[in-house]
């Protein structure tokens, strides 16, 4: 039947059961979801922030106040809120710190935009104003950042202050000075050009207190699986030669389907001897090279272990790849994949050395330590602590501090922390908004207000009156002579303090990346006006056909067959 005059034919575009939500209600729903995510991590911000205990279905317990860790473990399913997880992880990968700040800032930007959306403002206008405000905020931070100069020793002292600011908000804040020094010493060992993070090893050993943690100027790795004969090997050397291998040193059994045909039974012994001769030849070449320590990524069997013990050589098989790489960097040794060519004459080209090798008892574990390495491009931090959860959180805290010191070395510019930089940027944006006569004035002011969430949350988490402290901060930052621009929240007294003079410093890169990422996340969510959820197909082999489509076809075919 032809459609009537003025009627449009009905077009079915999406498969049956598809859920679509669109328009302003959907946008507000997405904003509410993101605000809920921000509220989940809000209380972890700052030196007085609380920790979250996350218990998963496997029974593993994680206690953390690291934003990226919490976001990863929360298993958020809301499609729009997942963008906040991504922005937190990108901040962690790019800078290493400020993961909580970026989530809170994204949530606050959306919260400030919500009333405008409800009143009918077009999201595109808000997005445009937010992006403009973000660009201005970034340029203001660059203008306010202070470069770290001076001698190497002075720079180390400044880097230590940056590390202490990062550790302030962590579980290990009680020993922040001890760990900040350790982190700066570890990062200083790295190649100044690459600053490869993989060359700093962090080993966790349960037992003891935090103060029992120590830094190894070289490489430390846990004693590997060992065979009989291991205890007869020497466990300490001075200036040993180190040989690194990526091969097995044990007798390899033939494949099950291997077949050897013999005409003379006497030949059988020669075949058995050949297997032994191959392994003995490999071991002899290792000894001939002059090495006193043999480390391999693959297994070193019981025969090889005893062989080396008889010749006063230390060996360890199944060494982790990262540990082997660090040993190579530290000692100057080159990993060998074959024993051919391992002679005393060419030893200099592939053997490494260190000042001291020893096997030491650390808690309940035994560790192999190589120290005083000539290349000194690597370091290992051995962490001690009471419980497994505590050591894991200490590991995450040190990772943040290492990333911050590493970034500060590459981009040696810092800004005042404690919410000072946010207040100063907020003031600048408020002043700039007055130059606009359009609705953008309101949106830029909203962005400026959103930035104040950082000092406000620092006050709330410390149990202070946020309204009172923010009023004092606005008064300080409002001074025309610019003397109050470095004032931030004093979490010790509940007042305000010049955070730059109090050495509460943060690399400007943290703030630049946080504001840019938070703005992008907020703009992304504001630009979504429809969510389409496709139904799960009931028939997994239907390949895109409506559920039950194939079933009906097969059923009809069978029916006809039966009738015939």
- Round to whole Å and give the CA distance between 374 and 190: 13
Is the fold of 19-147+416-526 the same as that of 218-252+272-375?
no
Spatial CB neighbours of 133, under 8 Å, sequence gap ≥ 6? 429, 443, 444, 447, 448, 519
Long-range contacts of 14-18 (CB under 8 A, 24+ apart): 14/532, 14/534, 15/534, 15/535, 15/546, 16/535, 16/546, 17/535, 17/547, 18/532, 18/533, 18/534, 18/535
Q: 261 φ, ψ to 5°?
A: -105, 125
Sign of the dihedral through C-alpha 493, 497, 502, 504 = positive
Q: Of the given ranges (404-408, 451-455, 545-549), which has the lowest mean pLDDT?
A: 545-549
Cβ burial, residue 181 (10 Å; 0-12/13-18/19+): middle
Q: Which fold has domain 19-147+416-526?
A: GROEL; domain 1 (1.10.560)
* Active-site residue, selected from the candidate residues 92, 97, 392, 400: 400
What letters, b where the CB count within 10 A reaches 16 and e where it falls short, cover 419-429?
Answer: bbbbbbbbbbb
Tell me the three state secondary structure of residue 475. Answer: helix
Kindly state the average pLDDT of the residues 199-215.
88
Element spanning 185, H or E: helix 176-188
Other C-beta atoms closer than 10 Å to the C-beta of 266 total: 8
Mean pLDDT of 373-390: 85
- The residue from 44, 62, 69, 100 that is catalytic is 100
Grade residue 31 by pLDDT with cuts at 50, 70 and 90: very high
Please tell me the predicted confidence (pLDDT) of residue 563.
Answer: 40
For residue 255, the model assigns a pLDDT of: 63
> Based on C-alpha coordinates, what's the Rg of the chain?
32
Q: Which DSSP category does 357 fall into?
A: E
User: Percent of the chain having pLDDT more than 90?
Assistant: 30
How far, in whole angstroms, is CA 242 from its chain's centroid? 32
Whether 280 shows a pLDDT value over 80: the answer reads yes
Distance of CA 429 to the CA centre of its chain: 32
Q: What is the pLDDT of residue 150?
A: 65
DSSP code for 313: -
Q: Which of 44, 62, 66, 305 is catalytic?
A: 66
Query: Which residues are 146's β-sheet partners?
Result: 414
At CA 346, angle to CA 341 and CA 351, rounded to 5?
95
Quickly state the pLDDT bin for 20 (edges 50, 70, 90). low
Write out pLDDT tens, residues 464-500: 889 999 999 999 998 888 788 889 998 888 889 998 8
What pLDDT, in 10s, does the model give residues 302-338? 889 999 999 999 999 999 998 998 899 888 888 988 8
Higher per-residue confidence, 76 vs 193: 76
pTM of the entire predicted model: 0.75
Q: Is 493 a catalytic residue?
A: no
Verify whether residue 66 is a known catalytic residue.
yes
For residue 536, the tally of other CB atoms under 10 A from its CB is 8
β-strand 293-296 against 314-316: which pairing, if any? parallel
94 or 535, higher pLDDT: 94
How confident is residue 12, by pLDDT bands cut at 50, 70 and 90?
Answer: low
- 489: exposed, middle or buried (Cβ count in 10 Å: 0-12, 13-18, 19+): buried
DSSP 387: S
Catalytic residue among 44, 62, 69, 99: 99
Predicted pLDDT of residue 430? 93
d(CA 184, CA 200): 11
Say which range, 5-14, 163-172, 434-443, 461-470, has the weakest mean pLDDT. 5-14
Specify the pairing of strand 236-238 against strand 356-362.
antiparallel
Give the Cα separation of 46 and 40 in Å (integer).
Answer: 15
Residue labelled with tokens 């006569």: 437
Task: Kindly tell me if the per-residue pLDDT of 551 is higher than 60.
Answer: no
User: Does residue 166 have an active-site annotation?
Assistant: no
Of 442 and 161, which is predicted with more confidence? 442
**Mean pLDDT computed over 72-79:** 86
Q: Is the pLDDT of residue 393 over 80?
A: yes
Percentage of residues of the chain with pLDDT beyond 70: 90
Domain ranges of the chain: 19-147+416-526, 218-252+272-375
Name the E strands within 43-118. Answer: 52-55, 61-64
Q: CA-based angle 226:230:231, to the nearest 5?
A: 125
CATH fold for domain 218-252+272-375 = GroEL (3.50.7)
Burial class (CB in 10 A: 0-12, 13-18, 19+), 91: buried
Q: Please, which residues bridge with residue 19 across strands?
A: 533
């Amino acid at each position: 039947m032809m459609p009537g005059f003025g009627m449009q034919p009905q077009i079915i575009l999406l498969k049956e059961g598809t859920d679509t939500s669109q328009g302003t209600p959907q946008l507000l729903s997405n904003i509410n979801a993101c605000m809920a995510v921000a509220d989940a991590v809000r209380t972890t911000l700052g030196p007085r922030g609380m920790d979250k205990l996350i218990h998963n279905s496997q029974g593993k317990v994680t206690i953390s106040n690291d934003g990226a860790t919490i976001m990863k473990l929360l298993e958020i399913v809301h499609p729009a809120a997942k963008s906040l997880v991504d922005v937190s992880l990108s901040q962690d990968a790019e800078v290493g710190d400020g993961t909580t700040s970026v989530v809170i800032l994204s949530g606050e930007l959306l919260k400030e935009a919500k009333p405008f959306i409800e009143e009918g403002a077009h999201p595109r206008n808000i997005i445009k104003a937010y992006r403009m405000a973000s660009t201005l905020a970034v340029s203001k931070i660059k203008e306010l950042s202070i470069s770290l100069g001076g001698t190497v020793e002075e720079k180390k002292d400044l880097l230590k202050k940056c590390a202490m600011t990062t550790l302030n908000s962590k579980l290990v804040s009680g020993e922040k000075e001890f760990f900040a020094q350790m982190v700066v010493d570890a990062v200083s060992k790295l190649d100044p050009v690459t600053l490869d993070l993989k060359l700093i090893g962090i080993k966790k050993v349960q037992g003891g207190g935090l103060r029992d943690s120590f830094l190894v100027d070289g490489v430390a790795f846990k004693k590997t699986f060992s065979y009989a004969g291991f205890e007869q090997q020497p466990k300490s050397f001075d200036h040993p030669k180190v040989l690194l291998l990526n091969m097995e040193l044990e007798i390899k059994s033939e494949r099950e389907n291997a077949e050897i045909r013999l005409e003379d039974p006497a030949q059988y012994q020669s075949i058995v001897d050949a297997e032994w001769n191959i392994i003995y030849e490999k071991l002899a070449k290792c000894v001939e090279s002059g090495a006193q320590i043999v480390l391999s990524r693959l297994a070193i069997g019981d025969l090889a272990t005893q062989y080396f013990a008889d010749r006063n050589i230390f060996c360890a098989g199944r060494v982790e790849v990262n540990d082997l790489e660090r040993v190579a960097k530290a000692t100057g040794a080159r990993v060998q994949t074959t024993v051919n060519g391992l002679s005393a004459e060419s030893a200099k080209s592939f053997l490494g050395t260190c000042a001291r090798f020893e096997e030491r008892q650390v808690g309940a574990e035994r560790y192999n330590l190589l120290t005083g390495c000539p290349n000194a491009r690597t370091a290992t931090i051995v962490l001690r602590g009471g419980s497994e959860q505590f050591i894991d959180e200490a590991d995450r805290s040190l990772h943040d501090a290492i990333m911050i010191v590493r970034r500060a070395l590459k981009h040696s510019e810092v800004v005042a922390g404690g919410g000072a930089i946010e207040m100063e940027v907020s003031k600048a944006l408020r002043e700039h908004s007055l130059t606009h006569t359009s609705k953008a004035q309101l949106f830029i002011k909203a962005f400026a207000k959103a930035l104040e969430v950082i000092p406000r949350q620092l006050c709330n988490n410390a149990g202070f009156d946020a309204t009172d402290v923010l009023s004092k901060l606005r008064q300080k930052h409002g001074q025309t002579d610019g003397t109050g621009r470095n004032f931030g929240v004093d979490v010790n007294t509940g007042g305000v303090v010049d955070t730059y003079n109090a050495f509460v410093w943060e690399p400007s890169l943290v703030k630049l990346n946080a504001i840019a990422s938070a703005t992008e996340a907020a703009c992304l969510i504001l630009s979504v006006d429809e969510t389409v959820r496709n139904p799960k197909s009931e028939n997994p082999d239907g390949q895109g056909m409506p559920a039950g489509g194939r079933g009906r076809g097969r059923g009809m075919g069978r029916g006809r067959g039966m009738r015939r």
